[in-house]
Structures are given as structure tokens and as C-alpha cells.
């Protein structure tokens, strides 16, 4: 196997000749001029190559930094897609459960379950694109009225859950009535020419309550709201 060529072989030979000339007592001015000229040529070449290498290194570093920024953005996008509903931007079911479970483990919180009333009729009468528009409008309405650290999650087709730390039971009931009224007051784009209401089940739970227990009770309250005529709020009385 042939050895790889030495990129500095010519320079090394020029350096050896310069040393030999420097150490020779017989070398004259012409000899010194000759080896100095040779060293100058090689030095200039090395300077040009060094500049090119530095420029390439700078470009490579800039490219690497750009790639790192793009990878960071991609990681954020993937994380968002893994935890959020693609239609509404609300948390998806898994992310909402994780967040609610963490909140309830450490502090009391209200849990609301909201379901859009007669949503199947909306899809049947106006089509699925119109139904999607209604869902997005409802979530936008909720986001405008539900500040962090409360979180909204889409847990089913037209069903949403809100975990709201920092509220007492009376405040949770008050906010649920406000959200119910705001949802029913929405005016949707054509072809939907009538109000679309929502029903809510609400509960307030102390720290240490499991999400499963809290959700089952709030969900039971939601079903009472459905049985009582919809477009209303029912509170978990346990």
C-alpha cells in the first residue's frame, strides 16, 4: 500500500536546504539569496493555504451553528407535535393527563370537562370542515379566557378538559359559567347560522387526588349537565 503523500514535503526539503546553506562556511551571498527566495515562495504558499483553511473553518463553524439552530427548532417542533393537538393547538390527551396529574400531585386544582352540544348535528348539517372550524373557534375562545398556568387539552373529538390550579371551588364554578356563556355567544362563520353551545362538568380537588378520580367525577358532572338540557354547568358534589 502506498503511503499518503506528505503535503509539506516540498517545504521540508526547502527547509533542509536552507539549514545546509546556513551551516556551510563556503556558502556565499548568491546561495543565501537563492535559499531565502525559495523559503519565501513556500512561506507565501503556506500563508495562502492557511488563510483558505481558516476561511473554510469559519464557514464550517457557521454551517454547524446553523445546523444546530435548525436541529433545535426541529426538536421543538417535534416536541410540540408530540404533545399538542394538530387541529387546535391545545394539549393532546396524553399531555393533558400528564400535566393534570403533576398539578394534582402537588397542589389543589379545578378540573373542567367541556363538551360541544349536538356536535354530530353540526357535522351532519354543515360538513366536517365546518365542524373543525367550530372546534377551533371554541378552543380560541377558551384560550382567551384561560390564563397560564391553567391548561386546555383536547381529550376527544369535541370534548376538552381544563386543569386550573390556583382556583378555589367557588371561583372554579364562576369561571365555568363564564366559559359556558362565552362559548354559546360565539358567532360562527357561514354556513353555520345558529349558536353552538357547550356543557361543562366541573370539580375542585385537593392536592394528592389522582387524575383518574378527578376526571371521572368531573365527567359524571358533565353527563348531568347533558341530562339537564345542555348549555349549562354542573358541579361535582362529592
Per the annotation, the verdict on 189 as an active-site residue is: no
Contact 186, 137 (CB under 8 A): yes
Q: Is the peptide bond before 149 cis (omega within 30 degrees of 0)?
A: yes
Query: What sign does the dihedral 137-117-174-152 (CA atoms) show?
Result: negative
Q: Please pick, among 11, 25, 158, 159, the residue that the annotation labels catalytic.
A: 158
Cell of 49: 493555504
Cα–Cα distance, 115 to 155 (Å, whole number): 10
Query: What sign does the dihedral 220-224-227-230 (CA atoms) show?
Result: negative
Residues identified as active-site? 158
Amino acid at each position: 500500500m502506498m503511503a499518503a503523500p506528505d503535503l509539506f514535503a516540498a517545504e521540508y526539503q526547502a527547509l533542509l536546504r536552507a539549514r545546509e546553506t546556513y551551516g556551510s562556511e563556503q556558502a556565499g551571498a548568491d546561495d543565501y539569496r537563492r535559499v531565502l527566495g525559495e523559503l519565501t515562495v513556500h512561506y507565501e504558499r503556506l500563508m495562502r493555504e492557511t488563510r483558505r483553511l481558516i476561511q473554510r473553518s469559519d464557514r464550517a463553524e457557521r454551517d454547524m451553528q446553523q445546523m444546530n439552530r435548525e436541529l433545535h427548532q426541529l426538536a421543538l417542533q417535534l416536541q410540540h407535535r408530540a404533545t399538542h393537538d394538530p387541529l387546535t393547538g391545545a394539549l393532546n390527551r396524553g399531555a393533558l393527563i400528564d400535566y393534570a396529574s403533576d398539578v394534582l400531585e402537588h397542589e389543589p386544582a379545578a378540573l373542567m370537562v367541556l363538551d360541544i352540544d349536538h356536535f354530530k348535528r353540526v357535522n351532519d348539517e354543515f360538513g366536517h370542515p365546518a365542524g373543525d372550524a367550530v372546534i377551533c373557534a371554541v378552543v380560541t375562545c377558551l384560550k382567551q379566557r384561560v390564563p397560564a398556568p391553567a391548561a386546555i387539552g383536547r381529550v376527544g373529538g369535541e370534548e376538552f378538559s381544563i386543569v386550573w390550579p390556583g382556583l378555589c371551588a367557588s371561583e372554579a364554578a364562576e369561571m365555568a359559567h363564564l366559559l359556558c356563556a362565552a362559548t354559546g355567544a360565539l358567532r360562527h362563520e357561514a354556513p353555520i347560522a345558529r349558536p353552538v353551545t357547550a356543557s361543562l362538568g366541573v370539580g375542585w380537588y385537593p392536592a394528592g387526588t389522582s387524575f383518574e378520580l378527578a376526571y371521572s367525577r368531573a365527567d359524571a358532572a358533565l353527563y348531568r349537565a347533558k341530562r339537564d338540557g345542555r348549555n349549562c354547568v354542573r358541579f361535582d358534589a362529592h
